[in-house]
Structure 1
């Protein structure tokens, strides 16, 4: 099969289109013929080597974290899926590889594709959908009437998180540029801040939750200050916390490093009587199934900026790196 492979880490490296062995199908796996693959900034960061500390992939490996396609083979113990099923998934860490013609995934990390979505639309959902679900439902426990601030509302996670927060009954504030105000308003945002000309700290106060996605340390401090006592800041960009290090079973010396990395942020949050949490989303087919229900009910919808061909995978990654995409970018593989 054809696949786009990371041959060595580096910001200036491109993915290599290569002939690759078709994946092995273990007893709990389904083999998915990839029709479409979502593109995420995570794919770029993995290629750059920015997560080598706790995700030490050994090159060469296939990149890609979002997939929609058709089951072509099942393992001997698979019970939830059959050949011919249309499915989607965010494969688990160490089993990524959606920039390819086929991928083998454990059935627990797969869900049936929403019937009302195309393959391209479905491929745009898993990573951002699960990130939003785990932040707002699992960790945040967002309730009706609470106030939620979602940074970068027109981005991949932002466009999905706004819709989910509104479904949960929250008042939603977000940041975006002036050209994307109508988009985030259409998704349900109640208060929209043009980050180029307005300071969100002067507009927001007493928020219950911030979904944080900006690497600027000053933005992190401002985000903590707009929370009310007992509020939560859930960061998608770090710094990672000791809880995260424990959850993924890092060795003691890496736990020590991660403890130092997030010490300042955690101290600032504690001083303000707030919680700072780092979310590195995980694969979860059951949660994806819940998201499917919301999509099929018309409550959630995908937002796609551009669709690239399989051969344009590197161009798709370059476009993501500009930070200007509205919603998701997708690669049409088949």
Structure 2
């Protein structure tokens, strides 16, 4: 079967189609015919070798998958052949950039009927990352004020929507052309990071979520968080003692698959309470171009690979 296999670390243009053996499910797993795969920043980091201590080459790239169940083995947790599904593959077992993939059935949820395969493939990792940032770590509650850096990013967009649904006042940063999109998501205030300094515009924030990595951003954020508030980051880190000195709790998101949360998110998408924006769609053969688009940092929404 066709797959994008990373044979050696390097730039995006070294990605190419390989032929590998189709996987066989073991007990408790399902085999999925992949219709679409999501492209995430971690995909490009792994390909570039930034996380080489965690992975061994060769490896098939990708963690976000949407497709059709081809085969089940053992306990399928209610899944049947022909079901349209979506899932986040565990971080240590990438493989979504391929015609087929196997995954533990306990991690797979049925795709909402109103979502395309492309939308479903773009959902798992970013929606779970944002959920863990806003709810699990941020513990947002009604009446609080939340500042989200990178609100127009895929993770940031979910974070804006979660915080708004929870009853918080939401402030988000993005370039000015993306402010209408942020308002559609529910942001109460938008800040243009290119021309405005958020430290001069906001204060007394209960929770800051950094959905982007930028040098000095976390340190600057400490200036606007109230004592006892929280700082959560999806990419960058800061020494906990630096945050503690400002009376702030800092935590880093390490996203993990979660069936119950993803199923709940799927229901919210199905009900129209959440939305997902697609930035661009590439065929599997153009995985290199998809990675280049991701690394440009100009994407608004999700980048998707489709597998014919």
Q: TM-score, normalised by structure 2?
A: 0.97
Give, in angstroms, the shift of residue 217 of structure 1.
3.5
C-alpha separation between the residues in 2 aligned to 1:223 and 1:326? 23
Pairs within 5 Å for 1:71-86: 71-86=69-84
C-alpha separation between the residues in 1 aligned to 2:13 and 2:292? 11
Pairs within 5 Å for 1:9-158: 9-11=9-11, 14-53=14-53, 56-158=54-156
Give, in angstroms, the shift of residue 12 of structure 1.
5.8
**Which secondary structure state, in structure 2, belongs to the residue aligned with residue 316 of structure 1?**
helix
Native 8 Å contact 2:12 2:292 kept in 1: no
Give, in angstroms, the shift of residue 154 of structure 1.
1.0
Do the aligned partners of residues 184 and 167 (structure 1) sit closer, same or farther apart at CA in structure 2, a change above 3 Å counting?
same
Aligned residue among 283, 303, 310 for 2:284:
310
Native 8 Å contact 1:108 1:286 kept in 2: no
C-alpha separation between the residues in 1 aligned to 2:152 and 2:75? 41
Give, in angstroms, the shift of residue 224 of structure 1.
1.4
Native 8 Å contact 2:39 2:305 kept in 1: yes
- Residues 103-132 of structure 1: per-residue CA shift (max 9 Å, x gap): 101112111111210111111111111011
Give, in angstroms, the shift of residue 328 of structure 1.
0.7
**Which secondary structure state, in structure 1, belongs to the residue aligned with residue 77 of structure 2?**
coil
2:6 counterpart residue number: 6
C-alpha separation between the residues in 2 aligned to 1:23 and 1:95? 13
Native 8 Å contact 2:143 2:168 kept in 1: yes
Give, in angstroms, the shift of residue 10 of structure 1.
2.5
**Which secondary structure state, in structure 2, belongs to the residue aligned with residue 230 of structure 1?**
strand
Give, in angstroms, the shift of residue 11 of structure 1.
3.8
Aligned residue among 271, 286, 289 for 2:260:
286
Give, in angstroms, the shift of residue 186 of structure 1.
0.8
C-alpha separation between the residues in 2 aligned to 1:320 and 1:64? 13
**Which secondary structure state, in structure 1, belongs to the residue aligned with residue 30 of structure 2?**
strand
**Which secondary structure state, in structure 2, belongs to the residue aligned with residue 37 of structure 1?**
strand
Native 8 Å contact 1:62 1:98 kept in 2: yes
C-alpha separation between the residues in 2 aligned to 1:158 and 1:213? 5
1:168 counterpart residue number: 166
Q: TM-score, normalised by structure 1?
A: 0.89
- Residues 33-66 of structure 1: per-residue CA shift (max 9 Å, x gap): 000111111100011121234xx21111100111
Native 8 Å contact 2:12 2:289 kept in 1: no
Q: Specify every segment of 5 or more residues in structure 2 that has no aligned partner in the other structure, as ranges.
A: none
Give, in angstroms, the shift of residue 13 of structure 1.
5.8
Give, in angstroms, the shift of residue 77 of structure 1.
2.2
C-alpha separation between the residues in 1 aligned to 2:111 and 2:173? 30
Match status 1:225 vs 2:199:
no
Q: Specify every segment of 5 or more residues in structure 1 that has no aligned partner in the other structure, as ranges.
A: 240-261
**Which secondary structure state, in structure 1, belongs to the residue aligned with residue 36 of structure 2?**
strand
C-alpha separation between the residues in 2 aligned to 1:218 and 1:158? 18
Give, in angstroms, the shift of residue 207 of structure 1.
0.9
C-alpha separation between the residues in 2 aligned to 1:9 and 1:285? 31
2:175 counterpart residue number: 177
1:267 counterpart residue number: 241
Give, in angstroms, the shift of residue 238 of structure 1.
2.8
